[in-house]
Structure 1
Amino acid sequence: MKFEQQLAVDQLSVYISKTEEILARNSAKIAQEYLENVLENKPEASILLATGNSQLKFLDALISNSKIDWSRLKLFHLDEYLGIDPEHPASFRYYLREKVEKRVEPQVFHYLEGDTLEPLRECDRYTKLLQAQPIDLCCLGIGTNGHLAFNEPPVANFNDPYWVKIVRLEKETRQVQVEQGHFSYFDQVPQYALTVTISMILSCQKILCFASGNNKASIIQRMLKGEINSSCPASILRQHSKAILFLDWESAKLL
């Protein structure tokens, strides 16, 4: 593996690759080796997955590696729109079922049920599933406003007493979903979502975080050079000693 640059910001390791493709290959190798090590020491492992564009190449590279015994892995995901059908192309359950579950056949994939009729009960159900074992690996991206999962700046709480909660989405986040082609127009994007919290993410044994492209450069600069506070939720990763941030040259250009 070759990273063009490596640095540390507080406790966070930052690895910079020349291109998104190289970033995906190198990060997948790190994830693979870590999971192999975990499975040498216990019968199964648990992974928390995300669905952003920054995950696509990484997930493909990880899945293409036949050395991982996916039948020993329990999978979870970070968030889901409230009220969306699981067959909707923009549903994160649909995305992960098509991009991951059908390709690797894990031991189980626990999904957040966004179309539940009782959202608070769903938060409780998913919390119990997450707390039933340590989460060995969390893979996630960073939103253009610094959000992790759907923990937007106004609702991000570094000491959240909950592990799963209902949040209202910022207009900026909803607009990005339209710009990326997941929805045809703004009013189609759900206003609310179910999300794991910052507290839950920080409980994970290891965190791999991804940001690539020119549109992430500004928030990455703020995340790594600004204050650690909830106005940039991703900044809290600087306090996690087992977290790695993967960047390409475009997203790292303002550092």
Structure 2
Amino acid sequence: MSNPESTSQSPAPVKTFRVDALSVRVYDSQATMAQDLAQLAQDYLQNLLAQQGSATVILATGNSQIEFLDALIVKGGVDWTKITLFHLDEYLGIDREHPASFRRYMRDRVENRVNPAAFHYIEGDTMEPLKECDRYTRLLQAQPIDLCCLGVGENAHLAFNEPSVASFDETRLIKLVKLDEKTREQQVNEGHFPNLSAVPQYAFTLTIPMIFSARKIFCLAPEERKAAPVRDMLKGEISTAIPASVLRRHEQAILFLDVDSASLL
């Protein structure tokens, strides 16, 4: 399989370096970052499909993902009918049609545009949350994960693995967690909810070991508001107090930054 980092067709980062096992790429703008990542993802998925005939990908929601997902879909060249998709998290008690539902985000921005082999959704409005965890676990266990795309929260969380609940040794693949107030405030600030009281207090999240099991990880963390968590994840100790720091142990993880999010490095 060719190395997707070696492509010459995409915009070049202004800086590349490594922190422990983690590759880091810094771009002059978020738009350039999205275009290069879309090229790398396209190359990787094309190679996977050529080699094994199918692929399984976990996608993330959030503002950091929008430009990348759109660029990847617009590029074309990927046979999505051979790709099974999952997503990282969903609020507990939220309807699939709610404007802030991650299922709605994925359906509108991805599924309806590419028609994948399957898109397995976390049913956030289930009446039996623990049974939903069991159901999603079985789906995740049915095949290896080829790629996980994700972002970094303002408190350095991955998916909804907050510092207060993150575990590097978790045996579950998905769990129910209580959200930190800082994370709930971030959802308001990003325009997903009108005020803090409207943000659910609990959510489903894939666990860190589940994320870490992916063969390759693409992590996006643009914008100035991510500068502090990026600094902490790259310069601090690898610990659950900084959940994103665990990516420094993954040999096939790449962190994508713009000059704003890299400003404190």
- TM-score w.r.t. length of structure 2: 0.95
- In the other structure, the counterpart of 1:200 is 210
Shift of 1:106: 0.5
Runs (4+) of structure 1 moved beyond 6 Å?
none
Separation in 2, partners of 1:181, 1:202? 29
1:49-77 Cα offsets, whole Å, 9 max, x none, are 00011101100011112100011000000
**Structure 2 CA distance, aligned partners of 1:192 and 1:89?**
17
Once the two structures are superposed, the pairs formed by residues 15-30 of structure 1 within 5 Å of their partners are 15-30=25-40
The CA deviation string for residues 126-166 of structure 1, in whole angstroms up to 9 with x for no partner, is 01101100110000000000000000001000110100000
Write the letter of the residue equivalent to 2:211.
I
Residue 14 of structure 1: SS of its match in structure 2?
strand
Please list every run of 5 or more consecutive structure 1 residues that lacks an aligned counterpart in the other structure. Answer: none
Asked whether 1:221 is paired with 2:231, we answer yes
Q: Secondary structure at the match of 2:75?
A: coil
Q: Report the CA distance between 1:249 and its aligned residue.
A: 0.2
Q: Supply the RMSD in Å over aligned alpha carbons.
A: 0.6
Q: Which amino acid aligns with 2:66?
A: L
**Cα distance in 1 between the residues matched to 2:203 and 2:161:** 10
Give the TM-score of the pair, scaled to structure 1.
0.99
Q: How does 1:139-158 map to 2 (within 5 A)?
A: 139-158=149-168
Find the residue that maps to 1:190 and give its secondary structure. Answer: coil
Tell me what 2:196 maps to. Answer: 186
For residues 188-246 of structure 1, the C-alpha deviation after alignment (integer angstroms, 9 at most, x for no partner) is 10000001000100000100000011100011011001100000000000000000000
State the alpha-carbon separation in 2 of the partners of residues 159 and 34 from structure 1. Answer: 29
Instruction: Please give the alpha-carbon distance, in whole angstroms, between the structure 2 residues aligned to 1:4 and 1:180.
Output: 27
Partner of 1:162: 172
- The alignment partner of 1:64 has SS state of helix
Which residue is 2:134 aligned to?
124
Question: How far apart are the structure 2 equivalents of 1:25 and 1:179?
Answer: 26
Aligned residues: 255
**Superimposed CA distance per residue, residues 65-108 of structure 1 (whole angstroms, 9 cap, x where no aligned partner):** 21000110000000000000000010000011001000111111
AA in 2 matched with 1:28? A
Distance 1:67 1:43 in 2: 15
SS at match of 1:116: coil
Out of 77, 95, 98, the residue aligned to residue 105 of structure 2 is 95
Aligned mate of 1:31, from 41, 44, 62: 41
Instruction: Give 5+ residue unaligned stretches, structure 2.
Output: 1-9
Identical positions, percent? 56
Aligned match for 1:231, one of 228, 241, 244? 241
Partner of 1:110: 120
